[in-house]
Amino acid sequence: MGNDKKIALRNKLENRNVTLPDGTCLPAIGQGTWYMGEDPKKKQEEIKALKLGLDLGMKLIDTAEMYGQGNSERVVGEAIKENRDDVFLVSKVYPQKSGLGNISAACENSLNRLGTDHLDLYLLHWRGSVPLEETIEGMERLKKEGKILRWGVSNFDTADMEELWNTKGGRNCATNQVLYHLGSRGIDFDLLPWHKDHKIPIMAYSPLAQGGSLRKQLLSDDNVNKIAEKYNVSPLQIALAWTIRSNHVIAIPKAVQEQHVYQNAEAVSVELTQEDLNRIDEAFPEPRKKMPLDII
């Protein structure tokens, strides 16, 4: 891809954004890093992919201390060391480390692995036994110390978000990262509407699914394939475009191969019509009742 096309793609990503509660605007497609850092032989390829994604405008990079037992953060640190100021950096803390006695050290360890002095966003990876009040207090302390600029949660269902919202300091939550893709759209029933009402965006992890069954279903579904042909893109790009259709969801697909990085970024150019969405609903119906939150 030539520089002119890269610039055009970056501009599209800048214009297709999602707004955090503090007014920060982020491109609707970022980069995930789950499973990165697990195979030393792939390290350079992973670093190259993340750098390419940044070059294309996908400036949000999401990682976690859990991924590769810290090695994912090390990979990300290498990828961003030359352009940290251009990156919106997200990491996550284990729930058992989210108490006042542990969260500061956990954050400091993540910062050291990432080679930076602050996180743009720090998430509670999932809810554990530590009281929300304590985790919120710890997050707010980290903000005052300048180690994080914002905090949020991950894998919180509607009742969890309601409890968080009604806990002191809980309304400072910037986002909730959950599983969301065409094969797992239970949040469309109540969680996503809750977030829209409270103006807290969703961050969708695994927006193209981890397993191969959904991918096979996407590739073989007539409706999705016809829509893909209409826009001259792949069915997986249609799935990604669908995930960000509401302008209230940031998708963070992972990609290591160069072709997949380009495809993820180019999905931002696809703006599905209501007719397209209706056809997708035929193949992947929206939920008609409350569904348990999917977690993988």
What confidence tier does 242 reach under pLDDT thresholds 50, 70, 90? very high
Residue 125 pLDDT exceeds 70: yes
Q: Which two tokens stand for residue 58?
A: 């996908």
Phi-psi category of residue 152: left, alpha or beta, with phi > 0 → left and psi -120 to 50 → alpha: beta
Query: Of 74, 54, 4, nearest to 261 (Cα)?
Result: 54
Q: Check: CB of residue 273 under 8 Å from CB of residue 17.
A: no
What is the rounded average pLDDT of the residues 22-26? 97
Q: Does 180 participate in catalysis according to the annotation?
A: no
For residue 202, give Cα distances in angstroms to 19, 79, 210, 221, 248.
Answer: 10, 25, 19, 27, 6
Report pLDDT digits (tens) over 194-237: 999 999 999 999 999 876 777 787 778 899 999 999 999 999 99
For residue 21, give the DSSP letter. Answer: T
What sign does the CA torsion over 190, 273, 6, 47 have? positive
- Active-site position among 35, 67, 180, 262: 67
**What is the end-to-end Cα distance of the chain in Å, rounded?**
34
Contacts of 172 (CB under 8 A, 6+ apart): 21, 136, 139, 140, 150, 151
Q: Which two tokens stand for residue 174?
A: 């910037």
Question: Which secondary structure element, helix H or strand E, spans residue 203, and what is its range?
Answer: strand 202-205
State how far the Cα of 288 lies from the Cα of 214, in Å rounded to an integer: 20
Phi-psi category of residue 206: left, alpha or beta, with phi > 0 → left and psi -120 to 50 → alpha: left
Report pLDDT digits (tens) over 43-95: 999 999 999 999 999 999 999 999 999 999 999 999 999 999 999 999 999 99
Q: Check: CB of residue 75 under 8 Å from CB of residue 33.
A: yes
Q: Residue 1 has what pLDDT?
A: 66
In order of start, what are the domains of the chain with their CATH numbers? 3-283 (3.20.20.100)
Q: Check: CB of residue 26 under 8 Å from CB of residue 250.
A: yes
State how far the Cα of 186 lies from the Cα of 289, in Å rounded to an integer: 8
Q: Residue 112 has what pLDDT?
A: 98
Asked if residue 125 belongs to a known ligand binding site, the reply is yes
Q: Check: CB of residue 241 under 8 Å from CB of residue 270.
A: yes
Contacts of 290 (CB under 8 A, 6+ apart): 186, 189, 190
State how far the Cα of 112 lies from the Cα of 147, in Å rounded to an integer: 11
What confidence tier does 185 reach under pLDDT thresholds 50, 70, 90? very high
Half-sphere exposure for 93 (CA within 13 Å, toward CB) = 31
